[in-house]
Amino acid sequence: GENVEQHPSTLSVQEGDSAVIKCTYSDSASNYFPWYKQELGKGPQLIIDIRSNVGEKKDQRIAVTLNKTAKHFSLHITETQPEDSAVYFCAARGNEKLTFGTGTRLTIIP
């Protein structure tokens, strides 16, 4: 089955700086890669996703890149703000199911 690894597990950045979270996946048949943001006491919220026929996607301060050959994808958050503090999960979809990474706790330092 699919295996997703996510790094780093924790990340602290100064407000206004950029944050990058990286994931690798094992199943070359995976074709959909969402990113979720989870705030304390809440369920994960989809923030951006990318399909395997696209190399990059951007939505305001958030972007995701995908390298199918290397089987890795990354989340980039620019001009970070205090409300970006949360746990972020990557996932890869293969065989009708999502396999999640173990999460990155992002802390924005004011």
Partner 1 sequence: GAGVSQSPSNKVTEKGKDVELRCDPISGHTALYWYRQSLGQGLEFLIYFQGNSAPDKSGLPSDRFSAERTGESVSTLTIQRTQQEDSAVYLCASSRRTGGSSYEQYFGPGTRLTVT
Residue found under tokens 């990113």? 35
For residue 99, the SS3 value is: strand
Residue of the chain from 40, 43, 60, 83 that contacts partner 1 (CB under 8 A): 43
**Residue 9 DSSP symbol:** S
49 is a site residue for partner 1 (CB under 8 A) = yes
CB atoms near residue 57 (< 10 Å):
15
88 is a site residue for partner 1 (CB under 8 A) = no
7 is a site residue for partner 1 (CB under 8 A) = no
Contact footprint for partner 1 (CB under 8 A): 6, 32, 34, 36, 41-46, 49, 51, 89, 93, 96-103
